[in-house]
């Protein structure tokens, strides 16, 4: 052995180096690393159970029979059954929401429409280039809002909300009477496919020649289809899977009905994670089979393959052979698992004790298919063949046991019946590019105020991006105050201010006295805090269950009648028209807002599908919040009169 080397520059550290030194001229004996105590090594092997052998051989061949069945029907939560669109991932079909197109995109879509009109109608009798451009701009131009004294309170408030988005308002002023608003045309087309009939020459003020009307309808229809396909917009609300009361998605997918026992209906009750996988689905068992339209040909395939199985392994797993050298990735000393950390304990036990008992057989399954392993036959080195049965096979009582990747079987009342032996491989996305949030809502519980608040942290800026909700709320109030308050009104309000009391001094003169305290009915809350008050569910006279109903805080500005503050994000504006008038209430289930709260985000996502096509869509995602909060809302306040 060599000596010890001390570093004089580092007196508190010592380095030892051990190396073999042979007494012979040849190094063969030293390099062979002979074991001089084999009995000790054998004893250690006995202690570790290495001598406990089984009368089985290693697997050298596996024959597998697999049946796959393509799920080719899709049903959004509110819509009818239809065929699966293979050109889109299922996540896009589920998540797509109808977000208002930004002003910049709307401008380019309008230019594209004018170009399509010129290309399609050129050469027709009576048509000249840009014949309808000025008239279309006049009919569908960008409309910047204006504040008028004749407008009611909600109209003023809505116009103020748009003007508070400075960039969007400047774009609208710039494009006014200069370009076509593609979003307005898309909205008009969705409401009435024959909206161009109103602009025909046969009607007063019409500008479209009857000979060109049919061709223009075709151009507008093709343009609309292109916009819906590029942005993946659900044309109708029935095509969406979003449930606003639960802030989640729900949908169904089904296989072809070849035979009664072959039909499968998978239901996703609550999907909000942003990634669609097998665990999002449950199988629904119904005595009455569903009726699917346009039944296609049989899409069931059976595969039989023979191959050599390989050992199933995970990163960092110890080697299964006693004398094999480790590769340096194993760090068993770094395992820190508590008594309740069952997942980590199970993985550790598998890696240490049962690593060489599991074999992997690769098989490529077509995305969007149900896969069932009908049977596996293993041949070992001794020539014996063993049939491997399913772990969750049906027992004598007819009960299906638990399976790792199977779907739960439920009846129409959502009662558990067992586990299905089939495995569903959804056509989910491996990677997406997510943009910055366009909308972000924080739903928190406020126990002091006994309510739930929907905080609009980020709201759409009407340009395709997001903007601060609190900053916009402050700008709205400033815009309305600056419009309503004039110098004369300020003086009149100051003279009539009830906080100033006239006091006589005994000499016929009157002076004003400001009292030290001031009473307020309630303090002011930022306008981006939307309240949800608890109410009893209708028809719950016995259980008295509650739900949350969207309410509103009053906006009180001098010179303006108090009115309700309306939300600005699309998630919270359900039932509110474009002019800020509420047509229907909005409810949120009580169990959807736990004590920790939830955060709801809406953002654009981009990916490429297997065909190489670029796919863009707008979707929502819900995550757990960060706990309770307090709005500071108080009533009957007596404070210093500053």
- Looking at residues 283-306, what average pLDDT do you find? 76
> Under the phi-then-psi rule, with left for phi > 0, alpha for psi from -120 to 50, and beta for the rest, what region is 125?
beta
pLDDT of the residue at 429 = 86
User: Residue 2 — pLDDT band, cuts 50, 70, 90?
Assistant: very low
pLDDT of the residue at 509 = 53
Average pLDDT, the chain: 82
Percent of the chain clearing pLDDT 70 (strictly above): 84
pLDDT of the residue at 99 = 84
Nearest to 622 by CA among 494, 463, 442, 462: 442
Contact 418, 407 (CB under 8 A): no
- Looking at residues 137-164, what average pLDDT do you find? 90
Instruction: Please give the residue that has the higher pLDDT: either 74 or 349.
Output: 74
33-55 per-position pLDDT tens digit: 677 778 877 887 787 777 776 66
Residue 546 DSSP code: E
User: Residue 258 — pLDDT band, cuts 50, 70, 90?
Assistant: very low
User: Residue 284 — pLDDT band, cuts 50, 70, 90?
Assistant: confident
Query: For the purposes of burial, counting CB atoms within 10 Å of the CB of 469, is it exposed (0-12), middle (13-18) or buried (19 or more)?
Result: buried
Predicted confidence (pLDDT) at residue 502 exceeds the cutoff of 70: no
- Looking at residues 316-339, what average pLDDT do you find? 70
Predicted confidence (pLDDT) at residue 329 exceeds the cutoff of 60: yes
* Orientation angle between helical segments 166-175 and 153-163, nearest 10 degrees: 90
User: Residue 19 — pLDDT band, cuts 50, 70, 90?
Assistant: low
Nearest to 455 by CA among 630, 604, 618, 624: 630
Q: Which of 517-521, 600-604, 609-613 has the lowest mean pLDDT?
A: 517-521
User: Residue 635 — pLDDT band, cuts 50, 70, 90?
Assistant: confident
Question: Could you write out the three-class secondary structure of 152-189?
Answer: CHHHHHHHHHHHCCHHHHHHHHHHCCCCECHHHHHHHH
Instruction: Please give the residue that has the higher pLDDT: either 313 or 203.
Output: 203
pLDDT of the residue at 4 = 46
Domain range annotation of the chain: 60-98+240-309+361-429, 103-237, 313-357, 433-640
59-98 per-position pLDDT tens digit: 889 999 999 888 888 888 888 888 888 888 888 989 999 8
Transcribe 529-543 into DSSP letters. EEEEEEEEPTT-TTT
Q: Are strands 416-425 and 300-307 parallel, antiparallel or unpaired?
A: unpaired
pLDDT of the residue at 137 = 92
CA–CA separation, 334 vs 574, rounded Å? 51
pLDDT of the residue at 455 = 94
- Looking at residues 387-409, what average pLDDT do you find? 73
- Looking at residues 314-338, what average pLDDT do you find? 70
- Looking at residues 181-202, what average pLDDT do you find? 89
Predicted confidence (pLDDT) at residue 599 exceeds the cutoff of 90: yes
CA–CA separation, 213 vs 207, rounded Å? 10
């Amino acid at each position: 052995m060599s000596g010890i080397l001390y570093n004089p520059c580092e007196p508190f550290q010592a380095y030892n180096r051990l190396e073999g030194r042979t007494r012979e001229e040849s190094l063969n004996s030293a390099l062979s690393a002979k074991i001089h105590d084999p009995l000790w090594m054998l004893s250690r092997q006995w202690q570790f159970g290495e001598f406990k052998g089984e009368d089985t051989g290693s697997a050298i061949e596996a024959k597998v029979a697999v049946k796959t069945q393509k799920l080719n029907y899709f049903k959004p939560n509110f819509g009818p059954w239809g065929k699966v669109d293979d050109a889109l991932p299922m996540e896009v079909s589920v998540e797509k929401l109808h977000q208002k197109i930004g002003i910049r995109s709307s401008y380019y879509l309008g230019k594209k429409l004018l170009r399509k009109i010129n290309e399609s109608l050129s050469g027709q009798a009576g048509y000249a280039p840009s014949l309808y451009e000025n008239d279309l701009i006049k009919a569908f131009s960008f409309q910047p809002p204006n504040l008028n004294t004749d407008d009611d309170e909600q109209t003023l408030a809505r116009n103020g909300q748009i003007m508070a988005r400075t960039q969007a308002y400047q774009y609208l002023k710039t494009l006014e009477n200069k370009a076509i608003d593609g979003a307005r045309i898309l909205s008009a087309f969705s409401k009435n496919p024959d909206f161009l009939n109103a602009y025909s020459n046969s009607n007063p003020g019409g500008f479209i020649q009857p000979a060109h009307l049919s061709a223009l309808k075709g151009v507008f229809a093709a343009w609309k289809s292109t916009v819906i396909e590029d942005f993946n917009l659900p044309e109708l609300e029935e095509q969406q899977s979003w449930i606003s009361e639960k802030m989640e998605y729900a949908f169904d997918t089904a296989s072809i009905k070849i035979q009664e026992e072959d039909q499968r209906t998978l239901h996703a009750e609550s999907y909000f994670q942003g990634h669609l996988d097998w665990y999002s689905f449950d199988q629904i068992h119904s005595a009455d089979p569903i009726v699917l339209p346009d039944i296609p040909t049989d899409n069931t395939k059976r595969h039989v393959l023979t191959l050599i199985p390989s050992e199933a392994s995970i990163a960092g797993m110890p080697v299964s052979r006693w004398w094999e050298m480790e590769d340096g990735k194993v760090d068993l000393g770094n395992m820190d698992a508590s008594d309740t950390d069952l997942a980590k304990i199970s993985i550790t036990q598998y890696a240490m004790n049962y690593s060489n008992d599991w074999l992997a057989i690769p098989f490529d399954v077509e995305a969007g298919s149900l896969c069932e392993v009908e049977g596996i036959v293993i041949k070992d080195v001794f020539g014996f063949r063993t049939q491997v049965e399913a772990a969750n096979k049906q027992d004598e009582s007819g009960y299906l046991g638990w399976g790792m990747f199977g779907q739960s079987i439920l009846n129409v009342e959502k009662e558990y019946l067992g586990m299905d032996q089939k495995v569903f491989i959804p056509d989910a996305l491996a990677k997406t590019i997510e943009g910055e949030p366009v909308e972000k809502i924080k739903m928190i519980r406020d126990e002091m105020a006994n309510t739930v608040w929907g905080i609009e942290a980020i709201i759409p800026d009407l340009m395709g991006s997001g903007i601060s909700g609190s900053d916009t709320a402050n700008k709205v109030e400033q815009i309305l105050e600056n419009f309503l308050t004039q110098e004369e009104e300020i003086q009149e309000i100051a003279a009539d201010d009830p906080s100033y009391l006239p006091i006589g001094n005994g000499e016929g003169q009157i002076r004003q006295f400001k009292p030290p305290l001031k009473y307020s009915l309630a303090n002011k809350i930022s306008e981006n805090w939307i309240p949800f008050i608890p109410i009893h569910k209708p028809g719950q006279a016995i259980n008295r269950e509650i739900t949350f109903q969207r309410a509103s805080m009053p906006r009180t500005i001098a010179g303006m009648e108090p009115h309700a503050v309306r939300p600005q994000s699309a998630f919270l504006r359900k039932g509110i028209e474009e002019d800020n008038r509420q047509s229907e209430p909005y409810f949120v289930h009580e169990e959807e807002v736990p004590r920790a709260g939830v955060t709801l985000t809406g953002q654009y996502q981009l990916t490429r599908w297997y065909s190489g096509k670029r796919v863009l869509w707008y979707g929502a995602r819900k995550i757990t919040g960060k706990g309770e909060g307090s709005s500071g809302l108080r009533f009957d306040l007596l404070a210093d009169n500053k």
